[in-house]
Structure 1
Amino acid sequence: MKNLLFILILATLFLGCKSPEARPPEVVNSGSFIKESVERNIELNKIEREKIQKVISGFSDKAFMPSENGFWYHYNSKAENDSITPKFGDRIAFTFNISDLDGNEIYSKNEIGTQYYTMDKEELFSGLREGLKLMKASEDVTFIFPSQKAYGYYGDDNRIGTNVPLICNVILKTITQNND
């Protein structure tokens, strides 16, 4: 009788145990949000580029060059005799102001003051970081950054709003090379 009870319990456990089954998802995501986001960003980029081209055409006295990093720039004063541009780890001092595409000043040079930055080791919005790498000491450059190269979707949580293209006038004062 004990053996029969043991066999019955064992058979019940054996037959009653199934392998776990995957639970079907409650929500099926088709990727439509990503697709809509991409389409929205493509349209935003197109609108910004048209506005930027209009601003550039308004500067008839300045020849803006497109950078390979997706922004435009013009040398207001160029250091012809110098060949040193900032590299990773170099310490630089610079001043700049920030305006919107209509020329309304958002932050002045006096308000921002002289900035000291170690190349690629500190936070700086991507367009300005890439633009500084094109400059030599004592150069004065006007940059036009589309919003994705400036503060993008989030803005700066102060005066620069969402998706705002920027014009920055930058003067690179000094470059102290990193000898490490």
Structure 2
Amino acid sequence: MTQSSGSFINESIERNRELVAREEAEILELIEKDSSNLYTASNNGFWYFYNKKSTDSTNTETPEFGDVVLFDYNITDIDGNVIYAEGEIPTRRYAMDKEELFGGLREGLKLMKEGEIITFIFPSHKAFGYYGDKNKIGTNIPIITRVHLHSITDESNINPN
């Protein structure tokens, strides 16, 4: 029995490796075709470009653990089909790393400064993974999300009420 469960795990690992490689190839092909944007590969396994980058030299803060951020975002599939339109997802108030949020977006917010708008491309394992969002996003769907970070409130400035 141990041997069969071990082979199941090995097969599962191999399937996941193939899925990640296939999604990354698809994403890199999309990036290669898009000559109008300058993409950056993050250290966390996703890609992004700035729609609006802060040029204010005093605007240097990025969110840290416990800070509360206010942001909007939309979601499309990597073919550009709208999954959640702008405004369909309510403006989100999120305490960094203290609440649930899909992994890629949680990591992406940490790269942003107040007022910036960034488009992220997340492979499925950085988005909603195998389970999807139980609504409009199915199993293993890579996504594109455009995020507008409105504000960052330092955790020490938040009333405990």
* 1:97 equivalent in structure 2: 74
d(CA) in 2 for partners of 1:167, 1:32? 34
d(CA) in 2 for partners of 1:107, 1:97? 5
d(CA) in 2 for partners of 1:114, 1:120? 18
Alignment partner of 2:142 out of 129, 148, 165:
165
d(CA) in 1 for partners of 2:2, 2:154? 54
- Please tell me the residue identity of whatever aligns with 1:54: E
> What is the aligned-residue RMSD (CA, Å)?
1.1
Give the 3-state SS of the residue equivalent to 2:38 in structure 1.
coil
* 2:48 equivalent in structure 1: 73
Alignment partner of 1:121 is 2:95: no
> Normalised by the size of structure 2, how large is the TM-score?
0.93
d(CA) in 1 for partners of 2:138, 2:112? 27
Instruction: Please list every run of 5 or more consecutive structure 1 residues that lacks an aligned counterpart in the other structure.
Output: 1-26
Identity of aligned residues (%): 55
* 1:42 equivalent in structure 2: 17
* 1:148 equivalent in structure 2: 125
d(CA) in 2 for partners of 1:52, 1:154? 20
d(CA) in 1 for partners of 2:148, 2:2? 52
Alignment partner of 1:29 is 2:6: no
Moved more, 53-62 or 167-176: 53-62
4+ residue stretches of structure 1 with deviation over 6 A?
A: none
> Normalised by the size of structure 1, how large is the TM-score?
0.83
Alignment partner of 1:106 out of 67, 83, 86:
83
State the number of aligned residues.
154
Give the 3-state SS of the residue equivalent to 2:147 in structure 1.
strand
